[in-house]
Amino acid sequence: MKMIIPLFTIFLGQSFYSLAYSAPAQVVIIRHGEKPAVGNELNTQGWQRANALPQFFENNKIVAEFGKPIALYAGAPNKPGGAIRSIQTITPYADQLGLIIHKEITKNEISSLVNKVMNTREYEGRTVIICWEHSLIPEMAQLFGETNAPTSWDDNVFDRAWVIRFKDNQVTDFLNLPQHLLPSDSAE
């Protein structure tokens, strides 16, 4: 009987740890590309940004440190005919990588998004890229546990990437990186 209890305890211990999750190494959050004054799609400059973003993701040493991303997320429209700019912005990179874009979560469901990213075991130690509506990104960063991120995202800023890094399921670092993709992008 004494032998059964330790083996059972070991089995339970292994089962418990296999159910535990670990965060991605980093989450890279970007805003969708530039938009027209009216309409739900990207404008010409937005498409230029979308087509240049793979260069940023591949060549920025911070973003590329943990290898190619394991998952790409973009906010789905809240209603039929709603904005699809986030999906359009990340599509060229998804096509280059041969990855699907997770677009089943609507842009207002950021709690569900954060829960999905933080509880998907396959993402452990990898990079996840999220393209979203700018007004919701600061709240999203807070839900990830980041307390040093700005509390708002300027309506006119399209050329930044927020990188939230994790270790042992805790935020360890926050970086606000320039993309340096288009002539109109900020120098720093």
Domain that holds residue 174: 25-178
Q: Is residue 58 part of a domain?
A: yes
Read off the pTM: 0.88
CATH number of the domain enclosing 162: 3.40.50.1240
Residues of the chain short of pLDDT 50, as ranges, are 1-19
> In whole angstroms, what is the distance from residue 76 CA to residue 53 CA?
20
The CA-based angle 117-175-66, given to 5 degrees, is 55
Per the structure block, which two tokens stand in for 16? 């418990």
Residue 125 lies in a domain: yes
Residue 82 lies in a domain: yes
Q: Return the C-alpha torsion angle 143, 146, 150, 153, nearest 10.
A: -40
5 located within any domain: no
Percentage, residues of the chain above pLDDT 70? 89
In a domain, 133, yes or no: yes
- pLDDT of amino acid 137: 98
User: Which pLDDT score is estimated for 30?
Assistant: 98
Predicted confidence at residue 84, as pLDDT, reads 96
Task: Note whether residue 144 is domain-resident.
Answer: yes
Please state, in angstroms and rounded to a whole number, the distance separating the CA atoms of residues 48 and 89: 9
Cα distance between residue 108 and residue 77, in whole Å: 9
Report the pLDDT value the prediction gives residue 3, as an integer from 0 to 100.
Answer: 44
Q: Is residue 97 part of a domain?
A: yes
